[in-house]
């Protein structure tokens, strides 16, 4: 803002202030959430935006949420005027959402008697069920309508009061309404905390200074990002990778990218990628944009905020109707969690040709999504549970990959065994590092893990996973990591190897064992 001098010391103060607001929003969401997916796995993200909807700062949460969320904020702003105390809810993947279980809540922040918002705050949380054809809302679907309830931008909170009609519609379409209402009200609380902290900052420092430093943070990130891109040799770098299958028989769904570096700008073009598929591994544009921006932020060695400044430097071209920019009403449940990982691998693979001593080998390249659903014995209450599983990190220049961690587009925790067994009638029979699954190399890939579930009641299961046939690639001569395995174990111990995408019923005493991929090795 004109007339405000940017002081380097104050700049650092405001940088941490904005991040602290987003982080406190996240802590609020964690502590008030009902589901294990939120309070244990931390499957949510929070961020602060300026009056135009551009990101100022975000919490240290999930990259796949955060890179896409500005498009949902924009959709909410465009959909309707917002007044003080309003909050708009949406999950539509074709309006900046990722997949239907990820519900976003956007709130304006008004200062004084201003007619327009000075800021926005928003959070996105993965709900363990939003309806659809199978518990957990991560089905093997052929179209979006089968995956769950689609929420366009509508007001969930109007002038500080929950809109009961909207809440009732949502809760009538899910299997676990009490848990869903608890998680939605936790999201409301998180936004209220963000709103209160921004107003407090303006009260303390003045509207002009807070807005000026918000813009300065975005500009600084842009400058650092441009300086980073300038260090990459000019040229056109290509790479292709593929998804194993779409769950309906189509194999090797190819993603192709060309990264063009021209001075301090980068263009990332996915022309040549395969058409969208029948199954739900399709990515919408928000997911593709999120993955690309994440990769470029990873190249920055400095401590800068992940905000709108990055997007000013990187142009993303994703042909409509392809696996990286599907058309409505394509199914997208696995696009958010699986295609996002492969897009990341593909862009990193291209950049590895420009920066061979910087870019690591491929990490596990999947989130190993497991959803469980059924009814509790006794009272027959429905349950729906969702989690992703960690795997091996790729080997890096100078360092071995980490074992059994979430990598790239996911940043959640692993659910503790005790929390899982308390939340649903399932027993965890095995939980261990999958030794020897990392790729060999000068710096080895990290190992995956093994997690085995035993059903205690009749349980519906859906598994959406990748890297079951194609392995995580090694870099600079390193070997590929081991592919993953999904195994169904009968009561008598008979084992059946499943595909990467599967939906089935487990009888009491039957087990599901997930063996996650290792990371690729780096160097000969």
Convert the pLDDT of each residue in 222-264 to its tens digit: 999 999 999 999 999 999 999 999 999 999 999 999 999 999 9
List of residues 6+ apart from 168 with CB closer than 8 A: none
Which of the listed residues 219, 251, 268 is the one where a domain comes to its end?
219
Return the percent helix, strand and coil in the chain, to nearest 5: 30, 25, 45
The number of residues making up the chain comes to 524
> CA-to-CA distance for 285 and 322, rounded, in angstroms?
10
CA distance 363 to 347: 13
Domains contained in the chain, number: 2
Look at residue 1 in the predicted model and tell me its pLDDT.
Answer: 53
- Residue range 122-169, pLDDT digits in tens: 999 999 999 999 999 999 999 999 999 999 999 999 999 999 999 999
- Pairing, β 314-317 against β 265-269: parallel
Element (H, E) at 18: helix 8-32
For residue 89, give its domain range. 8-219
Asked whether residue 427 is domain-assigned, the answer is yes
State which of 219, 247, 272 marks the end of a domain. Answer: 219
Q: Is the pLDDT of residue 12 over 60?
A: yes
Average pLDDT of the chain, as a whole number = 96
Give the tokens for residue 162.
Answer: 């929950």
Q: Quick check: 241 and 274 in contact, CB under 8 A?
A: no
Q: Would you put residue 241 in left (φ > 0), alpha (ψ -120 to 50) or beta?
A: beta
- Residue 420 in any domain: the answer is yes
Q: What is the pLDDT of residue 378?
A: 86
E strand intervals along 33-90: 44-50, 55-58, 87-90
3-state secondary structure of 46: strand
pLDDT band at 302 (very low <50, low <70, confident <90, very high): confident
Note the pLDDT of residue 66.
Answer: 81
DSSP code at position 398: T
- Rg of the chain over CA atoms, in angstroms? 22
Please give the pLDDT value at position 518: 98
Q: Which of 173, 197, 219 is where one domain is finished? A: 219
Q: Is residue 496 part of a domain?
A: yes
pLDDT, residue 303, reads 85
pLDDT value at position 309?
96
Listed range (64-68, 134-138, 192-196) with the worst mean pLDDT: 64-68
Any domain includes 301? no
Whether residue 250 contacts residue 279, with contact meaning beta carbons closer than 8 Å, is answered with yes
**Is residue 352 classed as helix, strand or coil in its secondary structure?**
helix
> In which residue are the tokens 């009749």 written?
458
Integer Cα distance of 103 and 44 in angstroms: 9
Report the greatest alpha carbon distance in the chain.
76
- Rounded to whole angstroms, the Cα distance separating 481 from 473 reads 7
Alpha-carbon span 477 to 485, nearest angstrom: 25
Instruction: Give Cα 452 distance to the centre of its chain.
Output: 24
User: Could you tell me how many helices (H) and strands (E) the chain has, helices first?
Assistant: 12, 20
* pLDDT on residue 2: 58
Helix runs in 33-68, H state only: 36-39, 63-66
The 10s digit of each residue's pLDDT in 369-384 is 999 999 999 899 999 9
- The tokens for 251 are 């194999």
CB 326 within 8 A of CB 284: yes
Mean pLDDT of 422-449: 97
CA 449 to centroid of chain Cα atoms: 21
Rounded CA separation 337/407 (Å): 12
Once rounded to an integer, what is the mean pLDDT over residues 88-107? Answer: 96
Peptide bond into 329 cis (omega under 30): yes
Residue 314 has pLDDT above 90, yes or no: yes
pLDDT exceeds cutoff 80 at 56: yes
**How much is the average pLDDT of 298-315?**
93
* Tokens linked to 185: 């009200």
Look at residue 96 and tell me if it is in a domain: yes
- Does 294 map to a domain? no
Give the span between the Cα atoms of 215 and 202, in whole angstroms: 15
Share of the chain above pLDDT 90, in %: 94
Task: Tell me, yes or no, whether 506 lies in a domain.
Answer: yes
Residue 3: pLDDT above 70? Answer: no
Examine residue 255 and state whether it is found in any structural domain, yes or no.
no
pLDDT exceeds 60 at position 204? yes
Q: What percent of the chain has pLDDT over 70?
A: 99
């Amino acid at each position: 803002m004109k007339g405000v001098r940017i002081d380097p010391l104050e700049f650092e103060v405001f940088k941490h202030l904005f991040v602290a607001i987003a982080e406190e929003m996240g802590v609020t969401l964690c502590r008030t959430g009902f589901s294990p997916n939120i309070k244990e796995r931390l499957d949510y993200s929070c961020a602060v935006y300026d009056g135009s909807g551009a990101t100022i700062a975000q919490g240290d949460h999930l990259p796949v949420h955060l890179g896409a969320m500005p498009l949902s904020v924009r959709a909410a702003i465009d959909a309707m005027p917002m007044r003080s105390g309003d909050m708009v809810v949406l999950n539509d993947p074709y309006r900046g959402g990722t997949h239907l279980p990820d519900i976003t809540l956007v709130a304006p922040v008004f200062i004084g008697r201003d007619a327009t918002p000075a800021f926005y705050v928003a959070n996105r949380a993965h709900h363990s069920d939003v309806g659809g054809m199978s518990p957990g809302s991560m089905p093997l679907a052929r179209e979006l309508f089968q995956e769950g309830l689609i929420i366009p931008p509508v007001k969930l909170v109007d002038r500080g009061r929950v809109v009961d009609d909207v809440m009732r519609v949502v809760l009538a379409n899910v299997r676990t309404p009490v848990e869903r209402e608890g998680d939605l009200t936790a999201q409301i609380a998180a936004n209220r905390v963000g709103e209160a902290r921004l107003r407090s900052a303006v009260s303390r420092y003045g509207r002009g200074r807070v807005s000026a430093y918000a813009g300065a943070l975005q500009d600084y990130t842009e400058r650092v990002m441009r300086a980073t891109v300038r260090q990459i040799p000019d040229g056109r770098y290509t790479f292709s990778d593929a998804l194993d299958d779409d769950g309906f028989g189509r194999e090797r769904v190819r993603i192709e990218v060309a990264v063009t570096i021209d001075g301090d700008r980068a263009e990332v073009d996915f022309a040549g990628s395969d058409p969208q598929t029948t199954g739900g591994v399709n990515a919408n544009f928000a997911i593709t944009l999120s993955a690309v921006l994440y990769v470029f932020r990873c190249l920055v060695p400095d401590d800068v905020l992940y905000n709108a400044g990055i997007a000013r430097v990187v142009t993303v071209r994703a042909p409509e109707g392809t696996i990286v920019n599907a058309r409505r009403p394509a199914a997208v449940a696995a696009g958010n969690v699986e295609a996002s990982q492969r897009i990341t691998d593909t862009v990193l693979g291209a950049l590895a040709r420009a920066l061979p001593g910087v870019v690591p080998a491929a990490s596990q390249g999947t989130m190993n999504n497991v959803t469980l659903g059924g009814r509790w014995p006794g009272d027959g209450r429905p349950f729906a549970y969702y989690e992703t599983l960690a795997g091996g990190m790729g080997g890096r220049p100078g360092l071995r990959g980490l074992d059994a961690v979430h990598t790239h587009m996911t940043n959640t925790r692993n659910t503790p065994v005790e929390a899982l067994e308390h939340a649903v009638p399932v027993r965890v029979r095995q939980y261990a590092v999958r030794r020897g699954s990392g790729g060999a190399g000068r710096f080895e890939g990290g190992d995956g893990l093994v997690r085995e579930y035993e059903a205690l009641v009749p349980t519906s299961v859906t598994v959406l996973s990748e890297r079951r046939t194609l392995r995580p690639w090694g870099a600079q001569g390193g070997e590929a990591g081991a592919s993953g395995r999904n195994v169904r174990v009968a009561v008598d111990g008979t084992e059946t190897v499943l595909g990467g995408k599967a939906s089935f019923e487990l009888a009491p005493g039957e087990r599901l064992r997930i063996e996650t991929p290792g990371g690729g090795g780096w160097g000969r």
